[in-house]
Amino acid sequence: MTNDSLLLDASQRLEQALKYTSISEDAIESLKFPQTSLNVSIPVRMDDGSLQVFQGYRVRYDDTRGPGKGGVRYHPNVSMDEVQSLAFWMTFKCAALGLPFGGAKGGITVNPKALSRLELERLSRGYIDAIADFIGPDVDILAPDVYTNSMIMGWMMDEYNIIRRHICPAVVTGKPISMGGSLGREAATAMGAYFVIAAMLPKFDQVPQATTVAIQGFGNAGGILAELMFAAGYQVVAVSDSKGGIYAKQGLDIPSVRRRKEATRGIQEPYCDGSVCETKDYDLLTNEELLKLDVDVLIPAALENQITEVNAPDIKAKFIFEVANGPTTSAADKILESKGIYVFPDILVNAGGVTVSYFEWVQNRSGLYWVLEEVNQRLKSRIVEEAEHIWAIARDLTVPLRTAAYIHAISRLGEAISAKGTRDYYVNGHGKH
C-alpha cells in the first residue's frame, strides 16, 4: 500500500462502524477531514558545516474532546499522509480510552541513525521552533513515537520553554523523570498491551504456559512486552526487529535476548544499531516469515501495513494483538475475519502510552507526582475497563473487535460534537428547554 492511500484505508474503519451508530450527520461530517495540518521546513547546520533542510509535519485531526495529543515520529518514510493517518487513529484511541484529548501526530522525514547526537538535537529544537505557535499544553501535546525517546522529548520541552520564556512541562509527555516525566511512561505501551492480553485471553481458556507468542518489533514496546509475557509464563518463540528475527520452537530466553540486543549499541547512543538477529543461538527468520508462524498469539509491534491482503491468507495465529499503529490493512481485516482470527485493534491494545501520557500531563499541571505502583494500577484499571466495554459491544452486535472499538469511540466523539449543537437541534428544535 502506498502512503497516499493510508488515510483512505484508515477511514474505511470509520465507515464500517458508522453503520452501528446513530450519531448526527454533523458529527460524521466533522470527522471526515483533519482539522489542521502543518508542513514545515527545518534547516539544520550539519557537523561538517553544510546546511540540510528537513521536512516536518504536525496534524491535529480533531480537538472536540480536548487538546490534541500525539507523538512525533522520526523516520525516512514519514509523509503528510502518514501523519494524518496516525492523527486519525489517535483521535479514536483517545476517545476509546475516555481520555480528555483529541488526536494529533507529528513527524520528520529523516533517517535519525545517520545523524550525530548534536545534529539530532539541532533538528529536534528546530522542529519546535517551526511549530511552537501550533502546540501548547491546552492546544496540542507532543510525545515520543518511532525513533524518538525521552532525551528528544526533553530537548523539545526545553526549546518550547526558551521560546515561551517560562517553564511549561505539560507541553510534552514522555520526558525524562528529572524534567517532570512520569514514572511508568517508558514501559506504558507494553504494560497496557500486557494488561489487555492478560484480560482477554482467559475468555478463550488460553493459559500462559500453553500459549505460544511471536512478536514483530523488538523496540521499546515490543521488547518490554516480550519480557512481561516471558515473566508471566507465555512461550515467546519468535521476536524480530527491522533487520530480521530469531525463532526457537521451545521458546526464547527473552531477558538474554534483550541483553544481547542492548549490548550491540553504545550505552550513550540514542538509537540502536544492532539487531536481535545477530544473536546466534536460535534459528534466523525474516519479518515476513515471523508473521506466518503457527503460533497462538501474533503481536505486530513495528510499523503500519505489515499484514495485508497478500500475506493475510497465510496468517496462522488464533489471536492478533496490535501494538503497532495500523499494522493491518482493511483488506486484510476481511480475510482474517473469514479465517476466524480475533484481531484486538491498535486503538485499544497500544493505548497504554497515551493513557500514561495523560497521567503525566495531569501530574505536570497539578504539581503532584505518583509512585510507579499508582501509575500502573490506574493504567490497568482504565485500559481493562475499556477493553471489557469493547468486548461487550463486539459480542452484543456480533461485529469484529476493531469495529466495536470504533463504535465505542465514535459514540463518545458524537456526543461531544452534538453537545455544541447540530442541524437537528437548530432546524427541528430538538433539545429545547
Q: Active-site positions?
A: 105
Q: Are 141 and 171 in contact (CB under 8 A)?
A: yes
**How far is residue 267's CA from residue 86's CA, in Å, rounded to a whole number?**
31
Q: Are 387 and 199 in contact (CB under 8 A)?
A: yes
Strands 342-344 and 319-321: parallel
Q: Are 216 and 306 in contact (CB under 8 A)?
A: yes
**How far is residue 74's CA from residue 54's CA, in Å, rounded to a whole number?**
11
Residues paired with 141 in a beta bridge:
69
Q: What cell numbers appear for 51 in the block?
A: 546546511
- Other C-beta atoms closer than 10 Å to the C-beta of 427 total 8
Q: Which of 61, 58, 68 is nearest to 11 (CA)?
A: 61
**How far is residue 188's CA from residue 326's CA, in Å, rounded to a whole number?**
18
Q: What cell numbers appear for 170 in the block?
A: 505539560
- In order of 105, 145, 242, the CA distances from 273 in angstroms are 26, 18, 10
Q: Helix, strand, coil proportions of the chain in percent (round to 5)? A: 50, 20, 35
